[in-house]
């Protein structure tokens, strides 16, 4: 039974605790949050992070904090000999991730990041079809991911660059970029426009970007936005012999709608494919949180690298983030 400490008991911390409890493989030993927690909480609470990191009974730590704390707490926990699960983003840039990886290697401990979208059943199904070669190779992809924020956004840490590191790209777009890499391979060319066209903050509210893999020719188009005035997730993958279009994402809030994957083969002669040709699969349940926990705990138990959400995965996506900000003006 793993003995776990939770640093950050907001929405994500609570989600991780629920998944840990459901796994039946972990006990929550100690919880910390910068805000005062209710007396009714079912876990032992500390007001000192060091009492979690340096607790000899705890072997794994979950870091669910504002972005600016992710890197220093990860490094501190690894150096203390703990296995670490950290939410995204891993840090503010790829150089900081490389520094984390250096500490990770010296520690010999498991480090995993919360790139949760890779664990959705729809995404895994898309990857399976791509790997099967039934539809040929990937030609291009298009991803749209956005939400609406209100005036209360100004009062949150996400609205401050020194605390968040960036805007909507680090908040949501990072997930879509990670999926681009998962489904289409790495990218070495970036064209982008990064702007704050409405909220007038020191973080971006819109990113339009084009990514290209010069070796394979795969191109991916991203629009990451928080001026969409609605929550929307859409990932389209077009291949030599057909396409896959995922609209919606199953979440606890239900704000992104139903998670529906449409699949169809193309036609090399007229008439072109029509809507009726599509196979539509609706994914009713979200098992992504459980999948992540199992990947992390299994890696600890078997002393094997994490197959999804590794520090190498984190470094790859952060390199694209860096290029996007650099080339986006």
Q: Alpha helices, DSSP H only, in the chain?
A: 11-23, 50-53, 67-79, 94-107, 121-132, 161-164, 168, 174-184, 288-302, 311-327
- pTM here? 0.95
Domain ranges of the chain: 2-116+290-297, 121-249+251-284
Q: Which tokens is 235 given?
A: 């990932």
Provide the pLDDT for residue 266. Answer: 82
Residues of the chain with pLDDT under 50: none
**What is the token pair recorded at 30?**
């100690």
Q: Are 58 and 29 in contact (CB under 8 A)?
A: yes
Pair 139, 221: CB distance under 8 Å: no
Write down the pLDDT at residue 150: 84
89, 62 contact by CB (below 8 A): no
Q: How far apart are CA 322 and CA 320, in angstroms?
A: 5
pLDDT for res 275: 64
d(C-alpha 95, C-alpha 203), whole Å: 20
Q: CATH number of the domain at 2-116+290-297, out of 3.40.190.10, 3.40.50.300, 3.30.70.20, 3.40.50.720?
A: 3.40.50.720
Cα distance between residue 129 and residue 233, in whole Å:
20
| Residues 6+ away with beta carbon under 8 Å from 239 | 130, 135, 136, 137, 138, 139
pLDDT attached to residue 253: 82
42 touches 68 (CB < 8 A): no
pLDDT at 38: 77
**Residue 110, token pair as written in the block:** 């498991």
Cα separation of 178 and 114, whole Å?
11
Predicted confidence (pLDDT) per residue in 136-186, tens digit: 999 999 999 999 988 888 899 999 999 999 999 999 999 999 999 999 999
Cα separation, 54 vs 66, in Å, equals 21
List Cα–Cα distances, 154 to 42, 62, 159, 202, 326, in angstroms. Answer: 32, 27, 6, 11, 25
- The bridge status of strand 111-114 relative to strand 138-148 is unpaired
pLDDT score at 252: 79
The pLDDT, as a whole number, for residue 147 is 93
CATH of region 121-249+251-284, choose from 3.20.20.70, 3.30.360.10, 3.40.50.1980, 3.40.50.1970:
3.30.360.10
Residue 256 has a pLDDT of 94
R_g of the chain computed on alpha carbons: 20
Measure the CA–CA gap between 131 and 244, rounded to whole angstroms: 13
């Amino acid at each position: 039974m793993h003995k776990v400490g939770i640093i950050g008991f907001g929405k994500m911390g609570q989600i991780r605790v629920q998944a840990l409890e459901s796994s039946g493989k972990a006990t929550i030993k100690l919880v910390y949050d910068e805000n005062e927690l209710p007396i009714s909480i079912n876990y032992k609470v500390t007001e000192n992070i060091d009492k979690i990191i340096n607790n000899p009974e705890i072997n794994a730590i979950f870091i669910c904090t504002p972005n600016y704390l992710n890197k220093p707490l990860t490094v501190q926990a690894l150096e203390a000999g703990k296995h670490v699960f950290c939410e995204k983003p891993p840090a503010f840039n790829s150089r900081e991730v490389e520094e984390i990886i250096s500490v990770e290697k010296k520690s010999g401990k498991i480090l995993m990041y919360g790139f949760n979208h890779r664990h959705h059943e729809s995404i895994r199904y898309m990857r399976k079809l791509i790997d099967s070669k039934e539809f040929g190779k990937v030609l291009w992809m298009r991803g749209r991911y956005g939400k609406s924020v209100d005036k209360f956004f100004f009062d949150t840490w996400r609205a401050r660059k020194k605390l968040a590191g960036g805007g909507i790209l680090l908040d949501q777009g990072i997930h879509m970029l990670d999926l681009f890499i998962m489904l289409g391979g790495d990218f070495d060319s970036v064209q982008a426009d990064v702007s704050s066209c409405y909220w007038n903050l020191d973080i971006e509210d819109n990113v339009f970007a084009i990514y290209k893999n010069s070796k394979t020719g795969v191109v991916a188009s991203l629009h990451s936005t928080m001026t969409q005035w609605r929550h929307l997730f859409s990932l389209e993958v077009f291949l030599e012999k057909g396409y896959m279009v995922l609209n919606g994402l199953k979440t606890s809030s239900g704000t992104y709608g139903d998670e529906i994957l449409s699949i169809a083969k193309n036609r090399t002669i007229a008439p072109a494919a029509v809507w009726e040709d599509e196979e539509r699969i609706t994914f009713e349940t979200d098992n992504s949180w459980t999948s992540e926990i199992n990947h992390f705990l299994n890696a600890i138990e078997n002393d094997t690298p994490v197959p999804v959400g590794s520090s190498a995965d984190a470094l790859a996506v952060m390199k694209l983030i860096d290029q996007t900000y650099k080339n986006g003006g």
